Structure 1
Amino acid sequence: MHLNGGTLLARTLAETTEVVFTLHGGHLDSFFKGCVDNGIELLDFRHEAAAVNAADGYARVTGGLAVAAVTSGPGFANAFAGITNAYADGVPLLVVIGAPPLREVETRELQGGLDQIAALAPVTKWAHRITTPERIPDLVGLAVRHALSGRPGPVVLELPIDVAFTPVNEAHLKPAGHPRIGARPGPGRQALTDALALLENAERPVAIVGEGSLWWQDRDVLTEFAETTGIPVLSGGPASRGLAADHPLNARGLASLVALRMTGGGSPDAVMLLGFPLSLFSGGGPGALLPDDARIVQVDADAAEIGRLAPVDVAVQADGAETLAALLAAREGRWADRSAWAEKVVGAAGLVDLMFADAPTEIDGRIHPYHAAREVMAALDPGAVVVADGGETAGWTNSALTATAPEIVLNPGYQGHLGIGQGVSIGAQRAEPGRRVVQITGDGAIGFHIQELDTMVRHGLPVVTVVMSNDTWGMSIHGQDVLFGKGNDIISRLAPTPYEKVAEAFGAHGERVDKLDDLGPAVRRALDSGRPALINVAVSNEAVHPMTTSMLGDVDATDEIVVPYYQNIPLK
């Protein structure tokens, strides 16, 4: 095999990955040839952002690094959105980006004129331009270690085309460090002692597992910890690896705490945050979802996240799994009996259903979105991967999750980046070929990357997509109804597009559903088809998810300037 910069990069990456999510661009031809020669699968897309989103989904499901590759200029610009989403959520990606020849810089060269590394610096953990092919092995190792260490995140290697095609003499290659990291750090002695004392003295403790759990090397330790201590576990954030869906100590999402408090069941007096940063997913700081008077243990690999929005009682800069293992090793004997408290917390997950159980199944002849989402969930076998995309559609999806037992749920992240579902679903299906991946998305979100149905068909990836079609940007129009009065909406309406026919045109299975009783059977037909599939469900745009109104904040304030979705500005 002829060895040059591109083929050397592929040979080095073969130690790290078996698949690269990409879209063809001539700048990377020698790299693509190297991938083929080294047994790396090239899963090609119709848009670079979707390729990076797929790597994102693959990383979240596997709990490891994922690799994407895009060409220079327009490819880089398209991929940028996917990279920013991964950066916001802390997902370890290595993105290879092509570039024009180094020796032709500032010549108005093809797909050049951009300092791609400078543009990427604020939205990556590390970005570097390869200037000589002999450095590729050690630069790949450095990139991987940057991506996986501490709080994970995306890294970039730019490969100029002249470097990619430059021959490499094997004799000139020096041994390079392996592209992997060592054991993740455990807690310090004092932090461990303080955390243990706080949990032992608590009467009503809960653990909340966030996106940091995706990267734990030991996923069984959480189950052992919950069963040993009797502490109920909730999950939150864009995605997390909590307890199994049917585990008796799995209290599901954070809405369970709201339901518990609303029904007089009490509130936790101690909260252990495991890779779960305080953020919009926790309602901000304490007082929204977490009680103001609860004592907090925050465990995070990134020290900067600890206490970001509010003081914590015990700060533990460490890997969450290592911390749980250390707590179990440090405590001998039985823990206090908290079975009554745990039963209340876990039972509150069912109370969330009661919020919508009495909602009509139809409004003006169209299906209520909660009942639609719940019917989809009820049709799934245990262990499915659920991908939620869109604004209110994601809210309805998560409100209906108790109807199924998913392996993992992938939600829109901190950017609220719509349209990522297509790519994320493809990455998840490639990561878990033995599981069914079902994407539930809004008709607004599906419009960003509907062309990736072609990718699913070409690569035989049987993702089932359910489009909740209400002919509007739901969260937008409902927010405008509150702010400006009903009927005064602005650019928030969509056409009643037959998305199922678009799917059929790409070669996928397509159906439209207008009645609730027909939805479950349609989902089963889609799953049984063994093909990529899209079900277009006519839902009402009159149903408003409570998430929308809660995110708008206090819109009736008279002593503040109302700023929807953010904090109001006090009038002086």
Structure 2
Amino acid sequence: MGSFTSNAGDAGLKLKMPSSREFLGGDLLAQSLAALGCKVAFGLHGGHLDAFLIGCSDANIDLIDTRHETVAVQAAESYAKVSNKVGVCFVTANSGFSNGIPGLATAFADRSPIFCITSSPPLRDAETNSLQGFHDQVVVAKPITKFAHRVTNVEEIPRIVAHAWRTAIAGAPGPVLLDCPIDVLFSPPQLDRIAWGAINRPLPYGAAADPGAVKEVAQLWSQAKRPAFITGTGARGDSFAANFLKLAEATNTPVFYSPKYGSIIPHGHRLRGGPAVRLALLPTINEQPPDLLILLGARTGFLLGGRGGAVIPNSDCKLIQVDVDGSEIGKSHAVDCGIVSTSQNFVEQMLSASVKSASSDEWVKTASSLKDLNEFDDQPEETSPGRLHPYHAIRKVYQSLPEGSIVIIDGGEAGSWSLQLLELARANLAMVSTGYLGFLGNGWGYALGAAVADPSRLVVSIHGDGSAGFHLAELDTFVRFKLKVLTIVMNNSVWAMSLAGQELIYGEKTPQRQASKLNPAAEYETVAAGLQCASAKVNKVADIPGAVEKLVNSGKPGLLNLIISENPIHPGTKAMLNVNVGKDWIVVPYYDNIPRPYYKT
């Protein structure tokens, strides 16, 4: 293999030239991505992409091929969150692209920097009903990406790749898509006409807080007796975590985390507060809510209790919101100080400002105790013969895991129980994969991306039996790439959150259970064994530690079919439905109820 150095000064790349074949657009695409830091790409094969896929080999980009395109895009999203790099994925023309749309949609909603590559028929064959050429993929992708573009000239590939890459990470991160027609990928570029753009230039610096805003935050902080942080996906990274911990300790401020990403505070630290939804428990122990909340890279919305005031108080609490996206600030809550900045820059500026706080050790003790409040300890382990109480089941699973795992949570009711007890897992990182779309099945891609991004840790992927059914064949992907993934299926044979909603709204004794049943005879452990995973089925709490230990130490990906009951309904589901409001209100499941325009007796 030879090399070619561009004549564009230091703006170009030293290209690797194949020794036994022609250098093509696919090679140029792969080497452009590699120059920007891409080391792995997730996807599913399609002949349209072969020039790129072969080029990845020469560019030292590892390919992780999945069983479904949705999972490939979602894996790129998780890879980005765990590695703090852009996640790269590839899907073939039209059919593959269509399967990848759900992944783009979730990445766009959850602000994940992913770079999606697709292809299309030759440019000359537009509007001819050619193979895999019906939809205009750029038009379809535009509403759910930050940038979507069709490359029509092979020499322009590096310039467009560099632009798309920067777009993915600039400001509020998000997905980008490049449609590279097959004739472009299979065409040899004229090397002296390549447009390099910014392919070999440093990435831009992040936004910083206005000095006036830093002074205002310092003043609000100095007056607060019960301050608290809520961190989100925008607050991550090893270098950030060290500085953030210094700031939290200097101001004696407890730290809670959004379900999307947590937490950067070490386990056992006195300032670790746990999931932010636990703030809603303060009234139950007769304690006051925070009088200052700092949202750091965390977005408001249903994951933080919506607008009801349970998590983010609607009164008597100053709210500071720090986000790279100015349009996100004040979207659903009145904000006393909004700052457009990266979390890293904000923390460094506040450390330099030497912020003083009136926070007491008593407040810290109260706040950090919320993660340990659990009201189901005294309930029986089985709610019916052979079916475990979901609380006790997932509690014992968490207690049996090795410390420092990565926990991925998927599902409805299963997700709620798992989030409630999450602190018991002592995880290095935890993510609720369903995101702002409430997208079930995301956990399969999240587990894959996390396992590839950090192969040193066990990835524990928790599903309800509903979400488990979306992409069960990805167990094969885990096996082929020898990934350390343990899948937990909380199996109650129903779509539990849907069933709970029907029973709460229409009455527990109602005979109708519309579209909410699953097969009680399903043997997920048998499917897993057939795909060469280690597997087990458990319906006794006492058997969980031994089963988890055996699966973790099997040397293979594992699956635990955990037989649980559909009851009790999780308190969070009851709170979301809020059916006991009287006849003057219209119950709107999972949202705020609305008053009736009139009421007749």
TM-score, normalised by the number of residues in structure 1: 0.97
Q: Tell me which residue corresponds to 1:155.
A: 176
Q: Tell me which residue corresponds to 2:13.
A: none
Q: 1:3 aligns with which of 13, 23, 36?
A: 23
Deviation at 1:405, TM superposition (A): 1.2
Q: Tell me which residue corresponds to 1:489.
A: 513
Q: Give me the whole-angstrom Cα distance separating, in 1, the residues matched to 2:445 and 2:195.
A: 37
Q: 1:297 to 1:143 in 2, by over 3 A?
A: same
Q: Which runs of 5+ in 1 are unaligned?
A: none
Q: Give me the whole-angstrom Cα distance separating, in 2, the residues matched to 1:492 and 1:529.
A: 35
49-58 or 231-240, which moves further after superposition?
Answer: 231-240
Q: Is the 8 A contact 1:211 1:276 kept in 2?
A: yes
Q: Give me the whole-angstrom Cα distance separating, in 1, the residues matched to 2:333 and 2:88.
A: 36
Q: 1:143 to 1:266 in 2, by over 3 A?
A: same
Q: Give me the whole-angstrom Cα distance separating, in 1, the residues matched to 2:68 and 2:445.
A: 9
Letter in 2 for 1:547: G
Letter in 1 for 2:130: E
Deviation at 1:337, TM superposition (A): 5.5
Q: Is the 8 A contact 1:148 1:181 kept in 2?
A: no
Secondary structure of 2:368's counterpart equals: helix
Deviation at 1:181, TM superposition (A): 2.6
Secondary structure of 2:309's counterpart equals: coil
Q: Tell me which residue corresponds to 2:325.
A: 302
Secondary structure of 1:211's counterpart equals: coil
Q: Is the 8 A contact 1:204 1:268 kept in 2?
A: yes
Q: Give me the whole-angstrom Cα distance separating, in 1, the residues matched to 2:122 and 2:578.
A: 52
Q: Give me the whole-angstrom Cα distance separating, in 2, the residues matched to 1:284 and 1:443.
A: 27
Encode CA deviations 1:478-537: one digit per residue, 9 max, x unaligned: 111111223321010100210000000111111110111001111111111121110101
- The yes-or-no answer on 1:191 pairing with 2:210 is no
Q: How do 1:143-292 and structure 2 match up within 5 A?
A: 143-178=164-199, 181-214=203-236, 218-285=240-307, 287-291=309-313, 292=315
Q: How do 1:395-410 and structure 2 match up within 5 A?
A: 395-410=416-431
Secondary structure of 2:67's counterpart equals: coil
Q: Is the 8 A contact 2:73 2:89 kept in 1?
A: yes
Q: Give me the whole-angstrom Cα distance separating, in 1, the residues matched to 2:296 and 2:425.
A: 24
Q: 1:308 to 1:272 in 2, by over 3 A?
A: same
Q: Give me the whole-angstrom Cα distance separating, in 2, the residues matched to 1:395 and 1:245.
A: 21
Q: Is the 8 A contact 1:384 1:407 kept in 2?
A: yes
Q: 2:338 aligns with which of 280, 298, 315?
A: 315
- The yes-or-no answer on 1:19 pairing with 2:40 is yes
257-266 or 41-50, which moves further after superposition?
Answer: 257-266
Secondary structure of 2:439's counterpart equals: coil
Q: How do 1:80-479 and structure 2 match up within 5 A?
A: 80-178=101-199, 181-214=203-236, 218-285=240-307, 287-291=309-313, 292-331=315-354, 335-336=357-358, 338-351=360-373, 353=374, 355-365=375-385, 366-411=387-432, 412-479=434-501
Q: Is the 8 A contact 2:274 2:370 kept in 1?
A: no
Secondary structure of 1:273's counterpart equals: strand
Q: 1:548 to 1:286 in 2, by over 3 A?
A: closer
Deviation at 1:380, TM superposition (A): 1.3
Q: Is the 8 A contact 1:275 1:300 kept in 2?
A: yes
Q: Give me the whole-angstrom Cα distance separating, in 2, the residues matched to 1:12 and 1:330.
A: 41
Letter in 1 for 2:305: G
Aligned length in residues: 569
Q: 1:164 to 1:319 in 2, by over 3 A?
A: same
Q: Give me the whole-angstrom Cα distance separating, in 2, the residues matched to 1:465 and 1:455.
A: 13
Letter in 1 for 2:98: A
Deviation at 1:240, TM superposition (A): 3.8
Q: Give me the whole-angstrom Cα distance separating, in 2, the residues matched to 1:177 and 1:241.
A: 35
Deviation at 1:546, TM superposition (A): 1.0
Q: Is the 8 A contact 2:322 2:339 kept in 1?
A: yes
Q: 1:345 to 1:301 in 2, by over 3 A?
A: same
Q: Give me the whole-angstrom Cα distance separating, in 1, the residues matched to 2:471 and 2:42.
A: 15
Letter in 1 for 2:114: L
Q: 2:523 aligns with which of 473, 498, 509?
A: 498
Encode CA deviations 1:416-471: one digit per residue, 9 max, x unaligned: 10011111101100011001100111101010000000111111112000101000
Deviation at 1:571, TM superposition (A): 2.4
Q: Give me the whole-angstrom Cα distance separating, in 1, the residues matched to 2:592 and 2:285.
A: 28
Q: Give me the whole-angstrom Cα distance separating, in 1, the residues matched to 2:74 and 2:325.
A: 24
TM-score, normalised by the number of residues in structure 2: 0.92
Q: Give me the whole-angstrom Cα distance separating, in 2, the residues matched to 1:552 and 1:477.
A: 12
Q: Is the 8 A contact 1:212 1:240 kept in 2?
A: no
Q: Tell me which residue corresponds to 1:63.
A: 84
Percent identity of equivalent pairs: 38
Q: Which runs of 5+ in 2 are unaligned?
A: 1-17
Q: How do 1:510-521 and structure 2 match up within 5 A?
A: 510-521=535-546
Deviation at 1:188, TM superposition (A): 0.2
Q: Give me the whole-angstrom Cα distance separating, in 1, the residues matched to 2:174 and 2:238.
A: 15
- The yes-or-no answer on 1:39 pairing with 2:64 is no
Q: Is the 8 A contact 2:259 2:275 kept in 1?
A: no
Q: 1:317 to 1:286 in 2, by over 3 A?
A: farther
Q: 1:132 to 1:449 in 2, by over 3 A?
A: same
Secondary structure of 1:114's counterpart equals: coil
Deviation at 1:215, TM superposition (A): 6.6
Q: Tell me which residue corresponds to 1:507.
A: 532
Q: Is the 8 A contact 2:256 2:272 kept in 1?
A: yes
Q: Give me the whole-angstrom Cα distance separating, in 2, the residues matched to 1:460 and 1:157.
A: 30
Q: Give me the whole-angstrom Cα distance separating, in 2, the residues matched to 1:445 and 1:175.
A: 44
- The yes-or-no answer on 1:561 pairing with 2:586 is yes
Secondary structure of 1:444's counterpart equals: helix
